[in-house]
Structure 1
Amino acid sequence: MFWRLSCCKGQYARPLFQAVTAHATRAAEKLRQHGLVAGTLTVFFHTNRHRLDRPQYSGSRSTRITTMSSDTFDLVEAARRGAQAAWPKGQGQTYGFTKAGIMLADLIRFEDRPLTLFDVEKPKSAALMSALDRVNKRFGKKRWSLRVKG
């Protein structure tokens, strides 16, 4: 079975990188819940297009996840790389971003993922992700989160 695309998006008043991290964390949890891994992650964000009195910007960047993964830390790292690459460069303006999100593509089952020559099994990471998923299931989602600089 092959899934093509998954998306998480939302409107936030909090800093952009925190929003992207939260979306990547939730997406990783959903991937593990369905037994999938992702091969590509796209980050997108934009300002309010209806507020013409403010500077406008829309950015997006796709990042290939070399070792297809559903690990929260791998997806957060890919999302942060994508957000930094899409960030407006040297324009000297401040933007009020209103929406940020991620899209995952190239979704396949964990068992069917292609292995690379440099793949290393990470049993501690798998155990950690399983423990975090159990915490979320027992106490409700968003009971734990990664702390990032905004």
Structure 2
Amino acid sequence: MKGIGIGTAADLREMPLRQARALGTVVLERTVLELQGEPCIAFDDVEPQRKGMAVTRSSGTPMKDFDTLFQAITSHATRAAEKLRQHGLVAGTLTVFFHTNRHRQDRPQYAGSRSTRLTPMSSDTFDLVGAAKRCALAAWPKMGGVSYGFTKAGILLDDLLPFEQRPLTLFEASREGSPALMQALDEVNGRFGKKTMVLASEGMLRSWQLRADHRSPRYTTRLSDLPVVR
């Protein structure tokens, strides 16, 4: 381009189309047209690969014991695993966090967080829940006699990769039944509704769930909320 006196994009914009095609084939001709404001190069929208994922919720009532907190963490880890499988991904790092209400200065304050590597990388619900429990136990306050009321907990997943690109470990144990089990779990919950089938560690009463007593009717997503005309 410099050899024929074109040193800027503005110079290139003024190049005759016949000359552009002769010098740089149809590619250069299209570039000149684009500079002149005529769209002629198609763009493919490629969704960027997710690098991280988070599942967090506030609690409807303060979680004062480990079993109640772990029920919430199990639920979050289960949802995170479902989202991984929906996107065909596996995670390499899992983080658990939980904390008290920072705005209640009249109550004891505590924030706990721990991370662990998932080796091998996984999207298996049992793997994530097991790793989450180890992190939660490590982050649980060691001071006895202090009653904390945790109001929020969550799961963070990092180092995400497509399942086909996951690095294999030398002594990775064969788990032939696990993919089929996860598929069955997703299909049951997909057909009969979320939380139809859950891990026992998630509990049944789930007192930690966020209250929704004043939620507006979900006319577009729940048949049970549709008004009945008599």
What is the aligned residue count? 150
Q: Over aligned residue pairs, what C-alpha RMSD do you find? A: 1.5
TM value normalised by structure 2 = 0.63
Number of the residue aligned with 1:114: 167
One of 195, 208, 229 as aligned partner of 1:142? 195
TM-fit CA distance, 1:2: 4.4
TM-fit CA distance, 1:120: 2.3
Gapped runs of 5+ residues in structure 2? 1-47, 204-230
Number of the residue aligned with 2:93: 40
Q: Which runs of 4+ in 1 moved over 4 A?
A: none
Structure with the higher strand share, 1 or 2:
1
1:7 maps to a residue whose letter is A
**Greater CA drift, 67-76 or 82-91:** 82-91
User: Any idea what SS the aligned residue of 1:49 has?
Assistant: coil
One of 102, 115, 127 as aligned partner of 2:155? 102
CA deviations on 1:69-121 (whole Å, 9 max, x unpaired) are: 00000000000100111111134201000000000000000000000011123
CA deviations on 1:4-59 (whole Å, 9 max, x unpaired) are: 11000001235210000000001101101110000000000000011111100001
Q: Provide the identity percentage.
A: 67
Structure 1 or 2, whichever has the larger Rg, is 2
Alignment of 1:55-70 (within 5 A): 55-70=108-123
Cα distance in 2 for residues equivalent to 1:132 and 1:148: 15
State whether residues 74 and 202 of structure 2, in contact with CA within 8 Å, keep that contact through their aligned partners in structure 1: no
User: Any idea what SS the aligned residue of 2:167 has?
Assistant: coil
2:183 matched to 1:130? yes
One of 105, 115, 136 as aligned partner of 1:83? 136
Cα distance in 1 for residues equivalent to 2:137 and 2:196: 27
**Greater CA drift, 139-148 or 19-28:** 139-148
Gapped runs of 5+ residues in structure 1? none
